Each structure stands twice: as structure tokens, then as C-alpha cells.
């Protein structure tokens, strides 16, 4: 919740992830899914297919945590049948769980987290 629900925490965690190439892709993926969720119904399928292509195709250069093939197949199927807002829900959960592990521990040791604590103290 420090990095998701609180605006300053969210901003500083994102800045921390931007400086680490292995985490930058996770934030880009989460942003793409957020755009997908608010896309117009008629645009949602193409937006979802673009996400699958950009982040999960063999030539995708964006590093993400390991998402099981079963989950990706389910996403593709749901996009073809009925592209609802929750198509990428499990993928998003996997990425959030990954970011809350080792990357969050590294964040707590960074100057970004110190700055977050300073803001909270002033608040």
C-alpha cells in the first residue's frame, strides 16, 4: 500500500523502478494494463493484443517476472471471446507480487524510500 495507494509513495517507487532496467518493464506493463482497463469497449481487444505482443511475444525485450504459459493462453482466449477489464488481472497480480518481494526490499534501502519517509514525517 505504500507504493500503490499513497500518491507520494507511488511516485517515488516508480522513480526507483525507472532507474533499474529489470523493474522498468514491470511499471510499463502495469501502465499499459491501466490504459487497457479504461479503453473504450471497441478498442479494448486491439489494445489487449498490443500488450500481449509488446510484453509476452518471443521477441519482447521488456523483462517481466515469469508468467505461466497457462495464464497467457487464458488471456489470449479471453481477449478473443470477451475482452473485459479483468483480462490481465492474474498477470497484474503476479507482477505486483514480484514487485512486493526483492524489489521492494531494495527500494527500502534506497534514497527514494528515505525521501518517502521524510515526506511522511512532514505530513
Q: Residue 84, by phi and psi: left (phi above 0), alpha (psi -120 to 50) or beta?
A: beta
- Examine residue 7 and state whether it is found in any structural domain, yes or no: no
Reported as a pLDDT band with limits 50, 70 and 90, residue 91 is very high
pTM for this prediction: 0.87
- Examine residue 39 and state whether it is found in any structural domain, yes or no: yes
Element (H, E) at 7: helix 7-18
How far is residue 70's CA from residue 68's CA, in Å, rounded to a whole number?
Answer: 5
pLDDT at 63 over 70: no
Note whether 85 and 119 are within 8 A (CB).
no
How far is residue 108's CA from residue 121's CA, in Å, rounded to a whole number?
Answer: 16
- Across the chain, mean pLDDT equals 89
Q: What is the per-residue pLDDT for 41? A: 85
Q: Which domain holds residue 111?
A: 20-121
With cell 508468467, the residue in question is: 67
- Examine residue 46 and state whether it is found in any structural domain, yes or no: yes
Q: What is the per-residue pLDDT for 60? A: 64
Residue 88 CB neighbour total at 10 angstroms: 26
Domain CATH for 58: 1.10.167.10
Amino acid at each position: 500500500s505504500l507504493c500503490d495507494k499513497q500518491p507520494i509513495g507511488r511516485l517515488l517507487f516508480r522513480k526507483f523502478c525507472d532507474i533499474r532496467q529489470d523493474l522498468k518493464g514491470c511499471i510499463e506493463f502495469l501502465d499499459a494494463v491501466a490504459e487497457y482497463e479504461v479503453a473504450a469497449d471497441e478498442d479494448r481487444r486491439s489494445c489487449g493484443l498490443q500488450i500481449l505482443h509488446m510484453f509476452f511475444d518471443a521477441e519482447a525485450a521488456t523483462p517481466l517476472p515469469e508468467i505461466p504459459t497457462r495464464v497467457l493462453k487464458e488471456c489470449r482466449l479471453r481477449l478473443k471471446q470477451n475482452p473485459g477489464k479483468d483480462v490481465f488481472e492474474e498477470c497484474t497480480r503476479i507482477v505486483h507480487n514480484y514487485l512486493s518481494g526483492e524489489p521492494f526490499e531494495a527500494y527500502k534501502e534506497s534514497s527514494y524510500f528515505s525521501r518517502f519517509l521524510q515526506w511522511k514525517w512532514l505530513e
